[in-house]
Amino acid sequence: MSGITAPEASVRGTGPVRAPYPEETDMRRTSYKLTLPAVAAAAMLMFPGALPASASSTSSTSAGSAAAASAALTLTGGSCEGLARRFLCSVAFSGAVAPVSVRWFVDGSHVPAYDNRTFVGIGCQPTFRYDIRAVISDGTGASVEFRSNPVCRSGNP
C-alpha cells in the first residue's frame, strides 16, 4: 500500500479504513473527457441520416432512404365504441420514430389527461354527438389523425 489513508472512519468499530488510492475515497473526482471524434462517432450511430453525402456511400444512402420510406408513420386502426354514457376509444399506428406523442381532443378541446395513451375511456351525455380526434406525431414531424363522430348511448352497457 502507498500509505495514504482515507478520512477517519470506522467500519463497525474496526478502526481507520485504508485506501490504496485517493480516487477510491471520493467518487466525485471521476471525470471523463470526450474527444471530438468520439462525439462525432456517437452522433453518426444515433443519427445515420445526418451524415454528409461525402461521408456515406451511395448504397447506404439509398438503403437508408428506402428504410425511411417504408417506416413512414401510418394509422393502422382506430375506433370508438359507445357504451352507456361512455366511449371506449383506441388508436393503433406503425412506422413511428421516437419520440411519439398522442394527443386527444373532444369537441375541439384538447384533453391533456388522455395524452400519450392509445386507449381511453371518455364520458359523455346521452343522445349528444361528439367529435373525438386523436393526433399521433413522431420525432420526424410526421403526424396522422384519427377522427370519429359517435352518438352517446343511454341505458345499460
User: H/E element holding 80?
Assistant: strand 74-83
| Percent share of the chain, pLDDT over 90 | 52
Task: Give how far the C-alpha of residue 68 lies from the chain's centroid of Cα atoms, to the nearest Å.
Answer: 19
Section 113-129 average pLDDT = 96
Bond before 99 cis per omega within 30 degrees: yes
Q: What is the structure's pLDDT at 108?
A: 96
Q: CA–CA separation, 61 vs 50, rounded Å?
A: 11
Is residue 23 over pLDDT 70?
A: no
Residues 6+ apart with CB under 8 A from 21: 2, 4
Q: CA–CA separation, 13 vs 100, rounded Å?
A: 55
Is residue 5 over pLDDT 60?
A: no
Could you read off the pLDDT of 51-99 as tens digits, one per residue? 444 343 344 444 444 445 557 999 999 999 999 999 999 999 999 999 9
Q: How confident is the model at residue 14 (pLDDT cuts 50, 70, 90)?
A: low
Q: What is the pTM of this model?
A: 0.56
User: H/E element holding 43?
Assistant: helix 36-46
User: H/E element holding 137?
Assistant: strand 132-137
Q: What is the structure's pLDDT at 155?
A: 79
Section 126-132 average pLDDT = 95
Section 89-117 average pLDDT = 97
Q: CA–CA separation, 43 vs 50, rounded Å?
A: 9
